[in-house]
Amino acid sequence: MKSLTDLVSVLPGVGPKKAQYLNQLGIYDINNLLNYFPFRYENLQIKPINEIKDQEKVILKGKVALEPRLNFFGRKKNILNLRLLLDNDVVPVSFFNQPWLKKRIQIGEEILVYGKFNLVKKSLSGIKLLSRYEKFNSMQPIYSTNKNISQKEIVKLIKLAFEEYKDLIHNLVPSKIIEKYKLLNLIDVIRWMHFPRTKQETFLALRTAKFNEFFLFQMKLQSIKKLDFNHGIQIDYDEHTVKKFINHLPFQLTGSQTKVVKEILFDMHDSKQMNRLLQGDVGSGKTIVAATAIYAAITSGYQVALMVPTEVLAEQHANKLAKLFEPLGINVALLTGNTKPKPKISLLDGLVNGDIDLLIGTHALIQEKVIYNNLGLIIIDEQHRFGVNQRKQLRNKGKSPNVLSMTATPIPRTLAITAYGEMDVSIIDELPKGRMPIKTTWIRNNQFKSILPFVYERLQKHEQIYIVTPLIEDSDAVNMRNAEQIYQQFADIFQPKYKVGILHGKMKDAEKNLVMNSFKHNDFQILVSTTVIEVGVDVSNATVMIIFDAEHFGLAQLHQLRGRVGRGNNQSYCILVADPKNELGAKRMNVMVDNNNGFIISQKDLELRGPGDVIGNKQSGIPQFKVGDPVSDVIMLNIAQQEAIQIVSTKNWENIKENKELASFIQTSLSEKILD
């Protein structure tokens, strides 16, 4: 029996190789193929000749005035010239390297030619001859393809799949909602996204496609929220004890910190399982907020797990929190992929029997052998670095433990609430008092030498320096050479008086730790690194951050990197070395120079994005959508969320006949880890 989940290889002409190429585009089954939407359309029109702009792609319709002439030149090159008689004009048309067209074009015949218009010469460089009988679509879909699959092939496959499978396409969105918002049926969305006849059709199809995408996303989030976050452990902490802890901190909590601590403690005490996201700029003091929640849980008799994305960060957190908690009689342990078998055995023992109160580590915390005695609170730092399923696995280590997720890449509140959907959001929006803002400058590559005296001066003051080069995807080799070149350059200048170290993604975790620790101990003064130092690393003696090729980073990431300095009492500096290719790039650099607030930077980053530019999203942890844009379509995202909440909160919604397709779709996609 046919099904939309049939693999693409069922289509004629799709062998193992072709299937593999399609997989590279994320197309595995018929459903994927039908939902592989064009990223833009070329709007083709037969236009009066005086309305055509230079280099515009158009269709001309006219009579062939002279016998077409084929000329050969160079090696294997040829050009077919003809003249097209329009109402009042004669337009020269030339086809490059399409000699076979000569036979198909007769003098006196009326033809349609698609091509690019040259206004000065009033000529057309022909791209395609549309056959006399061809019904041309004025809207030509353009798909993103790879070098192994052509536009033509994609179009052909989609056409085939649509013809074969269209009877199986049913709405997932309930018809009430379709009517309410005047949406299209799914079959029309797919038909018009791929084969539109007019601009209006593409517009309508895209509108519904976006809604569908947001709606299904929200249905998944809301289902998770309902299924997974029901009744939770009620942490009955002693208010007086927690107050005493806060009062004994070496500083006073900021207003913002106090507010979010309240929100978190309230959730922990509530019978509902906490699922809260704590957003706060780098240096806003999330750790101490987390520590307060940890203290409340542990003094109420529960264990706490703190999961972080990197080894370096895990170790750092463990050191910090052990210092804070061990004098208070709290047992802190560290578990990473590098924990040796022997200590690991006793650690796991201590965890099962409840001796260990706080376990800090990487995703090693979700290994099967790790069994907790009484897990009451989970904290996930840099939560967007973990998949939904990893987070779920950690939750399953306890009986509905409370969950606090943290992120240092702030996004605007309205967006956070809808994009994260299943979580409540707390925001720290002020920095501790007395912080000296980091001074940021932007220089061009050719000005690089001019900063060396400044670097030298900082070194003489016994301060330390970070130097970062971008990690460009798929070009690790190039990137490593860059880091190494820069390392060499600085070593030549400053050694032996000051030492230079290097850190990059190809190193083993243990090696990275070693390098980080010796930098922390000031064994060397300049650290050249790829972005592996990005998160959370804390060396308070480092005061200068130099970022090469800064235009290759997202603003959120630049802000994160910059946050590695300014952690101590000395004035800190950030130097961006960049030659941006265009005005937008220059603007982005200036945003960094002019702003120190992560929320403002992320807002500007979103404003400055080009359409469809999702790089910024990836870095900020905003979920990725195919057609919808969570920023510019935030209102629609909001509506989709409201509707999803409405459905999921209806008793037995899965069993209502009209929701059957939707319910089974959500069920499979949740079990298929699609959210990862």
Closest contact distance (angstroms) between CB of 290 and Mg ion is: 3
Calpha distance 31→162 (Å, rounded): 10
DSSP annotation of 186: H
Residue 280's binding partner, choosing from ligand ADP, Mg ion, none, with beta-carbon cut-off 5 to 8 A by kind? ligand ADP
Task: Tell me whether residue 221 or residue 601 sits nearer to ligand ADP (CB atom).
Answer: 601
Taking the C-alpha atoms of residue 114 and residue 79, their distance in angstroms, rounded to an integer, is 16
Beta carbon nearer to ligand ADP, 292 or 400: 292
Pick between residue 224 and residue 539 the one whose CB is nearest to ligand ADP: 539
- What are the tokens at 533? 């130092």
Distances 96 to 67, 69, 84, 147, 647 between C-alpha atoms, Å: 17, 12, 16, 22, 57
Measured from the CB atom, the residue of 190 and 539 that comes closer to ligand ADP is 539
Given candidates 282, 404, 550, 575, which one binds Mg ion under the rule CB under 5 A? 404
Instruction: Please select the residue that binds ligand ADP; options are 408, 415, 455, 537, rule is CB under 6 A.
Output: 408
CB 590, min distance to ligand ADP, A: 24
Smallest distance from the beta carbon of 264 to Mg ion, in angstroms? 7
Site for Mg ion in 428-487 (CB under 5 A): none
Burial of 76 (0-12, 13-18, 19+ CB in 10 A): exposed
DSSP per residue over 474-538, as a string?
A: T-HHHHHHHHHHHHHHHHHHHTTTS-EEEE-TTS-HHHHHHHHHHHHTTSSSEEEE-GGGTTT--
Binds ligand ADP by CB under 6 A, chosen from 100, 203, 251, 266: 251
377 binds Mg ion (CB under 5 A): no
Residues 6+ apart with CB under 8 A from 54: 117, 118, 119, 120
305 contributes a contact to Mg ion by CB under 5 A: no
Q: Kindly state the helix (H) or strand (E) to which residue 251 belongs, with its residue range.
A: none
Residue 319: CB minimum distance to ligand ADP, A: 12
**Is 264 near ligand ADP (CB under 6 A)?**
no
Shortest distance in whole angstroms from residue 125 CB to ligand ADP: 56
Q: Which does 404 bind (CB under 5 to 8 A by kind): ligand ADP, Mg ion, none?
A: Mg ion
Least distance from C-beta 282 to ligand ADP, angstroms?
Answer: 4
| Position 253 contacts ligand ADP (CB under 6 A) | yes
- The binder of 115, among Mg ion, ligand ADP, none, by C-beta within 5 to 8 A per type, is none
In 375-425, which ranges are continuous DSSP H helix? 388-395, 413-420
Selection from Mg ion, ligand ADP, none that 471 binds (CB < 5 to 8 A by kind) is none
C-alpha 462: how far from its chain's center? 38
284 binds, among ligand ADP, Mg ion, none (CB under 5 to 8 A by kind): ligand ADP
Is residue 277 classed as helix, strand or coil in its secondary structure? strand
Q: Apex CA 463: angle with CA 550 and CA 599, to 5°?
A: 45
Among 254, 409, 513, 560, binds ligand ADP (CB under 6 A): 254
Question: Closest CB to ligand ADP among 207 and 385?
Answer: 385
Residue 438 makes CB contacts below 8 A (sequence gap 6+) with: 545, 562, 565, 566, 572, 573, 574, 596
What residues have CB less than 8 Å from 134, skipping those under 6 apart?
112
Binding of ligand ADP by 314 (CB under 6 A): no
Q: Could you tell me the smallest distance in angstroms from the CB atom of residue 262 to ligand ADP?
A: 15
Considering CB distances under 5 to 8 angstroms, the limit depending on partner class, which of ligand ADP, Mg ion, none binds residue 288?
A: ligand ADP
Give whichever of 206 and 307 is closer to ligand ADP, judged by the CB atom: 307
Binding mask 274-313 for ligand ADP (x = CB under 6 A): ------x-xxxxxxx-------------------------
Question: Which of the listed partners (Mg ion, ligand ADP, none) does 408 bind, with a CB threshold of 5 to 8 Å by partner kind?
Answer: ligand ADP
Beta carbon nearer to Mg ion, 278 or 297: 278
Instruction: List, in order, residues 6 or more apart from 189 with CB less than 8 Å away.
Output: 205, 208, 209, 212
| DSSP letter assigned to residue 307 | E
Q: Which is nearer to ligand ADP, 212 or 560 (CB)?
A: 560
Q: How many residues of this chain bind ligand ADP (CB under 6 A)?
A: 15
Minimum CB distance to ligand ADP smaller for 254 or for 603: 254
**Contact partner at residue 223 from Mg ion, ligand ADP, none, CB < 5 to 8 Å by partner kind:** none
Crossing angle of helices 286-298 and 239-247, rounded to 10°: 140
- Which residues within the stretch 426-455 sit at the binding site for ligand ADP (CB under 6 A)? 432
Distance of CA 674 to CAs 236, 267, 380, 388, 666, Å?
Answer: 36, 29, 21, 9, 10
Q: Give least dist CB 5 to ligand ADP, A.
A: 44
Which of 452, 456, 544 has the alpha carbon at shortest distance from 498? 456
Could you tell me the smallest distance in angstroms from the CB atom of residue 406 to Mg ion? 5
Binders of Mg ion in range 273-292 (CB under 5 A): 278, 289-290
C-beta closer to ligand ADP: residue 267 or 381? 381
408 membership: H or E segment, kind and range? none
The angle, 0 to 180 degrees and rounded to 10, between the axes of the packed helices 555-562 and 583-594 is 30
Tokens of 112: 């349609």
- Residue 346's identity, in one-letter code, is S
Closest residue to bound ligand ADP by CB: 285
Residue whose pair of structure tokens reads 């201590």 in the numeric block: 350
* Single-letter amino acid, residue 395: R
For ligand ADP, the closer CB: 99 or 568: 568
Distances from the Cα of 79 to the Cαs of 33, 100, 130, 676, in angstroms? 37, 11, 18, 51
The least distance separating ligand ADP from the CB of residue 246, rounded to whole angstroms, comes to 10
Tell me the C-alpha distance between 221 and 643, whole Å: 12
394 near Mg ion (CB under 5 A): no
In the shown chain, the binding pattern of residues 45 to 74 toward Mg ion, with x for contact by CB under 5 A and - for none, equals ------------------------------
Instruction: Decide which of ligand ADP, Mg ion, none touches 467; Cβ closer than 5 to 8 Å per partner kind.
Output: none
Does residue 336 bind ligand ADP (CB under 6 A)? no
In this structure, are residues 616 and 610 in contact, taking their beta carbons and an 8 Å threshold?
no
- Give yes or no for residue 560 binding ligand ADP (CB under 6 A): no
Minimal distance in Å, beta carbon 289 to ligand ADP?
8
Amino acid in position 479: N
Which residues are at the interface with ligand ADP (CB under 6 A)? Answer: 251-254, 257, 280, 282-288, 408, 432
Which residues are at the interface with Mg ion (CB under 5 A)? Answer: 278, 289-290, 404, 406
